[in-house]
Structure 1
Amino acid sequence: MAESSSSSAPCAEFDFAPGDLARLRFAFSPVSEAVASLRMLQDPGRHALHLPWIRAVRPLLGELDLELLFALAPPGPYIADFLTPPPTSPLPDIGAELHLVASADPDKAAAEAARVPAAHSPTVQQFLADPAAGTVRVADLLRRYWDPALSPYWPQIQGLFDSEVLRRSRQLARQGAAAMFNDLHGNISWNGGRLRVTTQAWRRTGPLLGDGMILVPSVFHWPDTTVMAEPYQPMLIYPAPGVATVWQQGIVPTGEALTALIGRTRARILVALAEPATTAVIARRLSMRPGAVSQHLKVLHAGGLLSRNRTGREVFYASTPLGRALCAAS
């Protein structure tokens, strides 16, 4: 996997045939977030935005030995790719993804581990001596790390991803691939069917070869982008807008006038619905019970402050022009 930075010269280029856009999909990955967060723990000074999370999590890790995970996912342009398999579902489960890590091809895992800077360390050499057992150990370590470090924050993170995936899917459908890709990040550009992502570590040019591409919003890859390609399904990870709000659990700023008019809770819900979201997403975002959120949504909808649209089994709410005007005026 290659990390990208807007100041770097090399780039990865992907030529899209007409059918490739039909195979373009969005997903997010719990295990990819966990691996990216490990890199932040090793270089906290580079990621001031995430210091609230780092300060909260470090005391919880106790005696957990993270040496192998740190070695396989160091700060810098390269990590062992088997740690971050492309998500197979729009809503992946951490258990399912850890199973993919544990069952990774031992030869590929060993080849990737041999490329990390700490490849000659005793920790990595032990992994290389028995990569089949090593991948199982890595998956177990990731699970033991996930429980204290990511699990408590995952509802907030997933809520951010749900909103981002919905927004980008609509943008792609309404405005096309050029508008959507050119709006993702400064490292990413689209021109005439070619997607270009600046990278730090490697160059890649050519077609997608019929595999399509997965677009993955991220919290812990901020502020950079990351690219994965052959022999894996091409994957582009980019920082989701609004990352800073993840560490402000339950905090949605509202104006005094809006609060006085409709009440604090309904004001928070209305402000949080600047982008479409479901009842479950808003409940996670505001740390509220879904039943309570549902009751407030009904009142706001009846008052003309929210619109309601069904997509498949999901019902998405969003502020109406009147609702947005009230928020702006408060």
Structure 2
Amino acid sequence: MIRIEVSPADLLACRFAISPLMETMHAQWVLSGRLDAGTHRAWADRWRPRYRELHRRHPGLRVVSALGGWPGIYTPDFIAPPPAGVRMSFETQLAAARATPLKRARTEIERVLAELPPMPPDVLEILRGPDVVELVTDALRVLWEEIVADRWEKIAAILERDVIQRAGLLAAYGWAAALDDLGPRVRWRVDDGRGHIELEVSGKEGRHRLDGRGLLFLPTAFCRQLGAYLDDARPYALVYPARGVAAATPSRAAGALARLIGRTRARILAELAVPATTTQLAAMLGLVVGTVGEHIAALRAAGLISGVRTGRSVLYRRTPLGDALAEADGRASPDPLSP
């Protein structure tokens, strides 16, 4: 059990971020088969031949595959360090990873090698070589450019709507509300008036204090397990599965609801099982914002959805009537990254 002690100041210091570099690493685990593709199966099947070609050409991908994604085993932080800012580009994050001192990278590598079965000699040679950081970052850059960037707009939309939802819960209702639906492996506890977060990470133990630094929340679209960055030299971060990755959609292309209100409006209603903005829906559905706006207006006029302004955007969610119609039409788990 990992225990993270927090103070009232930590709640104000918490922040949410989206990490394109971390998502690229997680995508690699899915494409390599380290993680079950789940709802990303169609996407993984489409891109796996290209990934295998890149895997042959770039030895750094063999390193990422060998070191990461093992259940309950530490993944070296230098591969995808937690972002220092809320909105960092892939290039900025990659530069930060590339700046990792070789001594630090080797320490992290040896830590994970001590927990894994012996590596193939060619992989071990790369891991203990002088160019390991450069090879890993070069490989992730190629994976981003060749595969992940193609769907980043849709991935980012999924993550951003989770951030809006969960940040609102944290600000309005505190730790318990923000952590409540992350699964049984994370809990909010209060003992003697002091709050702390409990994480179950495959037998790992330890006590940590945020000491006013707050916690960085990092949603992920690819990984369905909780993870944490708990190195004092970097921001403390909680990695968690984003809500809505496998949002319900009409179970049949020509389902009853689709025949009643149209396929696009039925899909929008299904996606709004998790609140979203017009821009996020457009990115996820591959439509222009104006078209989505027209459908939103129709669904809102029919009383199926409602909207609330958050900053410069309007966040839409289903009404009880919308919930009833969507749930009556049946549920399925589509590939959220499919074209």
TM-score normalised over the length of structure 1: 0.83
CA deviation vs aligned residue, 1:169-194 (integer Å, no higher than 9, x gap): 22223432123223212110111111
Deviations 1:157-180 (A, max 9, x none): 222212222221222234321232
SS at match of 2:207: coil
Change over 3 Å in CA distance of 1:164–1:204 after alignment to 2? same
The yes-or-no answer on 1:158 pairing with 2:156 is: yes
Find the aligned partners of 1:325 and 1:78 in 2 and give their Cα distance: 43
| Cα displacement string for residues 4-59 of structure 1 (whole angstroms, at most 9, x for unaligned residues) | xxxxxxx2110001101111222221211222233344445855554433322220
Residue matched to 2:4: 14
Instruction: Tell me the amino acid that sits aligned with residue 243 of structure 2.
Output: P
Equivalent residue for 2:334? none
Judging changes above 3 Å, is the alpha-carbon distance between structure 1 residues 275 and 244 closer, same or farther for their aligned structure 2 residues? closer
- Alpha-carbon distance in 2 for matches of 1:14, 1:140: 34
CA distance in 1, matches of 2:49, 2:106: 32
Q: 1:276 to 1:49 in 2, by over 3 A?
A: closer
1:127: how far off? 5.2
Q: Tell me the alpha carbon deviations over residues 177-224 of structure 1, each in whole angstroms, 9 at most, x when there is no partner.
A: 1232232121101111110101236322132133211111222221x2
Q: Does 1:69 align with 2:59?
A: no
Deviations 1:74-124 (A, max 9, x none): 634122111121123434322221121112233212221233326794545
> Measured at CA, do residues 41 and 307 of structure 1 come closer, stay the same or move farther in structure 2, by a change above 3 Å?
closer
Q: Secondary structure at the match of 2:142?
A: helix
Tell me which residue corresponds to 1:5: none
Q: Does 1:268 align with 2:267?
A: yes
Aligned pair in 2 of structure 1 residues 120, 256: CA closer, same or farther (>3 Å)?
A: closer
Q: CA RMSD in A?
A: 2.8
Equivalent residue, structure 2, for 1:194: 196
Gaps of 5+ in 2: 330-339
1:185 aligned onto 2:183:
yes
Alignment map for 1:274-313 (pairs within 5 Å): 274-313=273-312
Asked whether the 8 Å contact 1:44–1:54 carries over to 2, the reply is: no
SS of 1:86 mapped into structure 2: coil
- For residues 175 and 74 of structure 1, the distance between their equivalents in structure 2, rounded to whole angstroms, comes to 33
Preserved contact between residue 78 and residue 201 of structure 1 (Cα < 8 Å) = no
| Equivalence for 1:214 | 216
Deviation (angstroms), 1:233: 1.2
Residue in 2 that maps onto 1:114: 110
Give the secondary-structure state (helix, strand or coil) at the position aligned to 1:241: coil
Name the SS of the counterpart of 1:236 in structure 2: strand
- Number of matched residues? 313
- The equivalences for 1:1-330 within 5 A come to 11-44=1-34, 46=36, 48-61=38-51, 62=53, 63-65=56-58, 66-73=61-68, 75-76=70-71, 77-117=73-113, 121-126=121-126, 128-130=128-130, 133-192=131-190, 193-200=195-202, 202-222=204-224, 224-230=225-231, 231-244=233-246, 252-253=250-251, 256-330=255-329
Counterpart contact for 2:155–2:221, Cα < 8 Å: yes
Instruction: Using the TM superposition, give the Cα deviation of residue 156 of structure 1 relative to its aligned residue in structure 2, in angstroms.
Output: 2.9
State the AA in 2 paired with 1:165. V
* Residues 42 and 75, structure 1, Cα contact 8 Å, conserved in 2: no
When residues 126 and 148 of structure 1 are mapped into structure 2, their CA distance, relative to the original with a 3 A threshold, is closer
Work out the CA distance in 2 between the residues paired with 1:90 and 1:125. Answer: 36
Show CA shifts across 1:239-294 (max 9, x none). 2234345xx9xx65478443344322222222322322111110122121222112
Structure 1: gaps (5+ residues): 1-10
Q: Is the 8 A contact 2:84 2:235 kept in 1?
A: no
Distance 1:258 1:18, change over 3 A: same
User: Secondary structure at the residue paired with 2:206?
Assistant: coil
Q: Aligned letter for 2:97?
A: V
Q: 1:201 to 1:67 in 2, by over 3 A?
A: farther
Give yes or no for contact 1:82–1:109 (8 Å, CA) kept in 2: yes
Q: Is contact 1:71–1:116 with CA below 8 Å preserved after alignment?
A: no
Q: Is the 8 A contact 1:57 1:148 kept in 2?
A: no
Q: Aligned residues: percent identity?
A: 32
Structure 1 residues 328 and 80: alpha-carbon distance in aligned structure 2, compared to 1, 3 A threshold: closer
Cα 1:272–1:311 shift into 2, 3 Å: same
Q: Name the SS of the counterpart of 1:276 in structure 2.
A: coil
Q: Secondary structure at the match of 1:205?
A: strand
Partners in 1 of 2:250 and 2:157 — Cα distance?
14
Task: Letter of the 2:82 partner, please give it.
Answer: P
Name the counterpart of 1:8.
none
